[in-house]
Structure 1
Amino acid sequence: MKKITVALTNKHYDVLIEKGLLNNAGKLISSVWAPRKVAIVSDDNVAPLYQQQLADQLTNNGFTVHCYQFPAGEASKSLSQLQTLAQQLVTDNFNRDDGVVALGGGVTGDLAGFLAATYMRGISLIQVPTSLLAQVDSSVGGKTAVDLGTTKNIVGSFYEPDLVLIDPTTLKTLTQRDLVEGYGEIVKVAAMTGGNFWQLIEKIESPTDILANAMSLSEGSIQFKADIVMADEKEGGQRQLLNFGHTIGHAVEALANGKLRHGEAVSIGTVAICQDFEEAGKTVAGVTAKIRTQLAAVGLPVSSPLLSSPQILDKIKHDKKNHNGHLNLVYIKKIGQPAILTVPENQISNTLKVPRQ
């Protein structure tokens, strides 16, 4: 079993990674939580696969379990769905000594995490991510949120879990599109990390290779993110590096109106910003081609007609990471060397070639 410890000023928790870990989840959870009432929150895709298994594990270890489901998809990451789940907790008499287990992908982790963060001003939370995107990215770092319309993650909080349990065998039940979506975030991290992690990425040539190397891919991604979060929990400085590929990616995702997954948009955004900075001489020549090749190898999109939309610049300017009229653009000087360039909002179009002609 791989263990990565996230040690923050006021919180310590472990991320455990092991094939077949769900078969032992009840015992692992009981090592950090005393018996209590637990809400297992899943969407209606994941719940039929793993919810009862986890419920049985917890029941066998002395917990009282309630299973909640919500409709799968980004549309459920809303204040109305949050209210529905909170009302279920009220109906089942949950109190501050109880807990929420987020079992599922990124939407579940964000939604159930924000539920735990806000119910009675905060109850205990454990993340059990079942998608690659959630395992390598959203389950670690404490970001929880819901969307307002097409504005992603605009209402939320930083709320760290007590434990993160990652079982790579859950990836086998994903569709190929759902699997490779998470790989967009992995390549983003590896490009910033360089070294052995990037060398591993260069060996990934298909979705099958992702599954075969899932343990190592998760460990490398999570260790990088954990190090960043421990240095900058609330995104005041270094944590902004995790936004590499997201400035353009979020804009493309919003314009796609649900037709692009988050990881797919990040893939497009990563290539686009690398191309812009390479053309400006700030990124070493050839880096964009390397990243594009690795993303395309598993079937991720590396460009989009939406990059030519007249609306994309407005979406970028109104990104929630806009600070007092400035955007901090994350790029890489070369593989393994990330950097941040602060650009005034009125000069974004001079730095990013959007909309593209």
Structure 2
Amino acid sequence: MSVRVSLGDRSYDIHIENGALDRAGELLAPYAARGRFIVVTDRNIVPNQLYRLETSLTTAGIASAVEVLPPGEATKSWKMLEKLTDALLNYGVERNDTIVALGGGVIGDLVGFAASILKRGCRFVQVPTTLLSQVDSSVGGKTAINSKAGKNLIGAFYQPSHVLIDPTTLDSLPPREVRAGYAEVIKYGLIDDAPFFQWCEANGGKLLAGDPDARTHAITASVAAKARIVGEDERETSGRRALLNLGHTFGHALEAETGFSDRLLHGEAVAAGMALAFRFSTAQGLCTAEEAARVTAHIAAAGLPATLHAAGIDASGAKLVSHMLHDKKMEGGRLPFLLARGIGQTFLEKNVDLSAVAAFLDSDRG
């Protein structure tokens, strides 16, 4: 099945199909300028997915060069961006060539940013292999690397030409990675689709257990929601797209506190961040305690951290807020927060008192 991201002359399709990676040569042939692709992936992807892609390309008569990078969040760095762009130039990349990002969110973010700056813009295709990247980061054109000051602070809005999603790539993922991706699935229900959150409560266990129908439904519903929001507000100018950041302001602070390491995966941080956002909304008199408890319960039932303690965080509220001050969404010294009046009723609040956030975090931690 296919979902369209409608952005005028930069519109593109998201193709979702079990086994699509084994048909990638056929499905991506229209983007094979000069009859070749340049594939960028990481070492964790090589054993299970790279062979499938290369075999498919060879069968379709498409040549490919491959650049393999280290796995992990540390790859989203100036150092690796320089390494990748130098490698792509050594391959003789031209602007009408297609760079294929095969991997999770780290590879997609890095490759997309490299494509946006190389020769002032090269074509790229996303082939996401993790649940998190399939339902979120591969769609919408946000590309970035991290800096010492924080996460995703250096980047560009740069849309892919196509997104190819094969849910069977999830079969080789560790359960922790699948759970981390599921956090972003939950997010779409919490933003503005209470019935989808109900679906998650009823079917999340099936998805995590590998049920193919549940996975396909969740991925399709998630990317359709994101495509709709991105089509309405590509660059977060109206505030509509900002809703996709639910849980991320809290979550990025938790990631910063853990050094953007495997101690806390991005999806795990977002899960805890969403639970914190709902409980903070309750503390602000916006959301009922029952709704916040329901969100916390489902996140915990999915095996994700729903509290600071479960996320391994023992820092003070003031220290966590200090991490937030580097958030790229800061405007005039104020940091917008995604809060909620209930499940499916998320909104952007630009006048949050950060001292109240710090006090809440201290109380929630205790």
Which bin holds the TM-score, normalised by the shorter protein? over 0.9
- Is the CA contact (8 Å cut-off) linking 1:37 and 1:64 kept in structure 2? yes
- Is the CA contact (8 Å cut-off) linking 2:279 and 2:289 kept in structure 1? no
Distance, in Å, in 1 between the alignment partners of 2:107 and 2:208 is 26
- Is the CA contact (8 Å cut-off) linking 2:31 and 2:98 kept in structure 1? no
The equivalent of 1:147 in structure 2 is 146
Deviations 1:60-112 (A, max 9, x none): 33433101101111111111111111111122211112110000101010111
Alignment map for 1:6-25 (pairs within 5 Å): 6-25=5-24
The equivalent of 1:89 in structure 2 is 88
Distance, in Å, in 2 between the alignment partners of 1:32 and 1:41 is 16
Alignment map for 1:68-217 (pairs within 5 Å): 68-149=67-148, 151-204=150-203, 206=205, 209=208, 211-212=210-211, 213-217=214-218
Deviations 1:112-165 (A, max 9, x none): 111111111111100000000000000000011111136111111111111101
Q: Is the counterpart of residue 270 in structure 1 residue 274 in structure 2?
A: yes
Q: How many aligned positions are there? A: 354
SS in 2 for 1:327: coil
When the two structures are superposed, what TM-score results if normalisation uses the length of structure 2?
Answer: 0.92
The equivalent of 1:229 in structure 2 is 230
- Is the CA contact (8 Å cut-off) linking 1:55 and 1:67 kept in structure 2? no
When the two structures are superposed, what TM-score results if normalisation uses the length of structure 1?
Answer: 0.94
Distance, in Å, in 2 between the alignment partners of 1:150 and 1:261 is 18
Distance, in Å, in 2 between the alignment partners of 1:231 and 1:222 is 14
Distance, in Å, in 2 between the alignment partners of 1:173 and 1:7 is 32
Q: Which amino acid aligns with 1:101?
A: V
The equivalent of 2:346 in structure 1 is 338
The equivalent of 1:313 in structure 2 is 321
SS in 2 for 1:354: helix
- Is the CA contact (8 Å cut-off) linking 2:150 and 2:326 kept in structure 1? no
Q: Provide the aligned C-alpha RMSD in A.
A: 1.7
Distance, in Å, in 2 between the alignment partners of 1:37 and 1:261 is 34
Q: Which amino acid aligns with 2:344?
A: G
Could you tell which deviates more after superposition, 308-317 or 43-52? 308-317
Distance, in Å, in 2 between the alignment partners of 1:161 and 1:205 is 29
Offset at residue 307 of structure 1 (A): 6.2
Q: Is the counterpart of residue 218 in structure 1 residue 219 in structure 2?
A: yes
1:314 and 1:94, CA in 2 relative to 1: closer, same or farther beyond 3 A?
same
- Is the CA contact (8 Å cut-off) linking 2:130 and 2:169 kept in structure 1? yes
Offset at residue 203 of structure 1 (A): 0.9
Q: Is the counterpart of residue 354 in structure 1 residue 361 in structure 2?
A: yes
Distance, in Å, in 2 between the alignment partners of 1:101 and 1:150 is 29
SS in 2 for 1:157: strand
- Is the CA contact (8 Å cut-off) linking 1:271 and 1:288 kept in structure 2? yes
The equivalent of 1:327 in structure 2 is 335
1:109 and 1:172, CA in 2 relative to 1: closer, same or farther beyond 3 A?
same
Deviations 1:25-55 (A, max 9, x none): 1111013444443211111000222113212
Could you tell which deviates more after superposition, 25-34 or 70-79? 25-34
SS in 2 for 1:103: strand
Offset at residue 297 of structure 1 (A): 1.2
- Is the CA contact (8 Å cut-off) linking 1:245 and 1:270 kept in structure 2? yes
Structure 1: state its 5+ residue gaps. none
Q: Which amino acid aligns with 1:83?
A: E
Could you tell which deviates more after superposition, 330-339 or 96-105? 330-339
Alignment map for 1:283-322 (pairs within 5 Å): 283-305=287-309, 306=313, 308-309=315-316, 310-322=318-330
SS in 2 for 1:16: strand
- Is the CA contact (8 Å cut-off) linking 2:33 and 2:97 kept in structure 1? no
SS in 1 for 2:74: helix
Distance, in Å, in 2 between the alignment partners of 1:47 and 1:183 is 23
Structure 2: state its 5+ residue gaps. none
